[in-house]
Structure 1
Amino acid sequence: MNDIAQETVEQISEADFERFRSLFYRKTGIFFEPSKRYFVDKRLYERMKETGHANFRSYFTFMRFQASGEEFQSLVNAMTVNETYFFREHYQFEAMVSCLMDELSDIRPPGKDLRIWSVPSSTGEEPYSIAIYLLEYWRGLAERDVEIVSSDIDSRVLEQAKKGLYSKRSIQNIPAPVVNKYFKKTGNDYQLCDDIRESVSFCLINILAAKESRSLSRFDLIFCRNLLIYFDDQSRQRAAQVLYDALNPGGFIFLGHSESMSRICSLFKVRKVGDVIVYQKPLTGGSR
């Protein structure tokens, strides 16, 4: 690490901010409003100091043309927000086990695995919540195997997710008997058991990068909660097409409570399961 004092780092100009914002948007689909300027500048200064660059232009050239892409990934990690906890918006998990999994099982060929994609994974609370809910509350699991894949654009949180070590706050919404069944107290934290950790496959994916997103397909259920809120309209439309293409016919998508696919894309059928809104890919052309 190159230690450069804060006062020696040249201020980032408005033109430099626009240049960075444009590049970051093209590569990730994430658009920073002017109101986020302080947040962006703070993290850029941190990366400039860490890499030994006293001015933005030097850092930007280094980051943009580095062959390994390692610094851009570090910048993505710094710029993304990962705030989550187990059993968040639990009513969606309840809709999954009370209705959707049975419906999907009925339309898929016998013996075929059901596949679930959780994006973004953040530090793993969501995909692990899916696994726990299926084990605890879906009787069909005795007859149908389920594959869970979880992805994120942030390599740092993926490594945290794989470790499966969580604070008391992260697990506060899980019933005590379920905590005792799947977690072991380790100091002030809670270690998730190996069986649950091994039930989820994690991968580094930018869903707006065509080459990367094409590797994820044939899913029956997708949890894509609180990702689209970071995109502008154009990026949301691109993401919606990626999600649509990744689904098997008849498959479903859950979005965050403040998100609506209907305002983004007309390809999906809107379904209501109890009080929960889900979006379904029409069951045309048969199941794959």
Structure 2
Amino acid sequence: MAEPHISEEDFMKFREFFYRKTGIQFDASKRYFVDKRLLERMELTGHETFRSYFIMLRFQASGEELQALTNVMTVNETYFFRESYQFDCMVNSLLPELVTRKTDGDPLRIWVIPSSSGEEPYSIAIYLLERWPGIKNYDVEIIASDIDTRILSQAQQGLYSARSVAQLPKNYLHKYFCRESDSFQISDDLREAVQFTRVNLSEPADTRPYRNFDLIFCRNLLIYFDDLSRKSAAETFYDALRPGGFLCLGHSESMSRISSLYNVRKFPEAIVYQKPLGVRP
């Protein structure tokens, strides 16, 4: 019997399907990556042909296999304090401006998407505790979301390699982590400070409940989207922000090329994108 394989036609069918479901588009340069993971999932689910696997993938009522495939198709490489200049901007420039529009008892709300394995939202929590004096006066909610359920479970566990924590100042490492063999376990207090949720940014039913955020971090995700998906994501974040709220993108991403909805704000530490004041929430 011939070994299962992925034809060019199969690849094109899958690429279109996965794009419609997630907004992520694989070009020809990712062919080996996609084929390898498709063949792995076919073997694990007992399908000898792409056709039979693809039928199951599209019509499985539970969506369980689509989620499993999404988990292995998404890239989740990050580390603590990555692109930390934006965290400096957060505590030095963004939060001081945001709190001027807060009333008593009104929390500051931060959304991190994608959460990946948790390094980014936990880095934000550490920055707030260590470098923002206002943390004593305001309740802060940090919600971190990802499409990958496996990586969300890893983030909630909070167990990290030496490579992940290499950029942390030593005093922060000792203060917020316990050494466990070759890994580092984040403290329970920090784990409880972040709420992790599953969200598909391309699914309106998933994103609709996410509203009234003051600050959104979406870094190094839109590079995997095409122009249409980027524009849709920009509109989703716009709806999720309070008027005057800020959106932070990755260093190689620019909202100016995606959408005109936002005002470009240049702070000493970083360029960020603001939902204009005076618009309806």
Settle same-fold status: TM greater than 0.5.
yes
3-state SS of paired residue (1:54): coil
Structure 2 equivalent of residue 241 of structure 1 = 235
Is there any run of 5+ residues in structure 1 with no aligned partner, and where? 1-6
**Distance in 2 between the 1:93 and 1:176 partners?**
18
1:263 and 2:257 equivalent? yes
1:107 and 2:101 equivalent? yes
Q: Tell me if structure 2 keeps the 8 A contact 1:219–1:251.
A: yes
2:9 corresponds to which letter in structure 1? A
2:179 corresponds to which letter in structure 1? K
Where do 1:1-288 residues align within 5 Å?
Answer: 8-285=2-279
**Cα drift, residue 275 of structure 1:** 3.7
Say what the alpha-carbon RMSD is for the aligned residues.
1.1
**Distance in 2 between the 1:187 and 1:73 partners?**
32
**Distance in 1 between the 2:279 and 2:156 partners?**
37
**Distance in 1 between the 2:236 and 2:113 partners?**
12
Residues 182-208 of structure 1: per-residue CA shift (max 9 Å, x gap):
000011100000000000000000011
Q: Tell me if structure 2 keeps the 8 A contact 1:9–1:45.
A: no
2:24 corresponds to which letter in structure 1? I
Residues 112-171 of structure 1: per-residue CA shift (max 9 Å, x gap):
000000000000000000000000000001111100000001011000000000011101
Sequence identity (%)? 60
**Distance in 2 between the 1:229 and 1:203 partners?**
22
**Distance in 1 between the 2:250 and 2:117 partners?**
17
3-state SS of paired residue (1:170): coil
Q: Tell me if structure 1 keeps the 8 A contact 2:88–2:269.
A: no
2:159 corresponds to which letter in structure 1? L
In the comparison of the two structures, how many residue pairs are matched? 281
3-state SS of paired residue (1:107): coil
Residues 41-86 of structure 1: per-residue CA shift (max 9 Å, x gap):
0000000000000100000011111111110000000100000000
**Distance in 2 between the 1:8 and 1:132 partners?**
54
**Cα drift, residue 8 of structure 1:** 4.9
Q: Tell me if structure 1 keeps the 8 A contact 2:86–2:269.
A: no
Q: Tell me if structure 1 keeps the 8 A contact 2:141–2:193.
A: yes
Residues 29-51 of structure 1: per-residue CA shift (max 9 Å, x gap):
00110111111000000000000
Runs of 4+ in 1 over 3 A off after TM superposition: none
TM-score (normalised: structure 1): 0.96
Q: Tell me if structure 2 keeps the 8 A contact 1:219–1:247.
A: yes
**Cα drift, residue 243 of structure 1:** 0.6
More divergent stretch after superposition (192-201 vs 267-276): 267-276
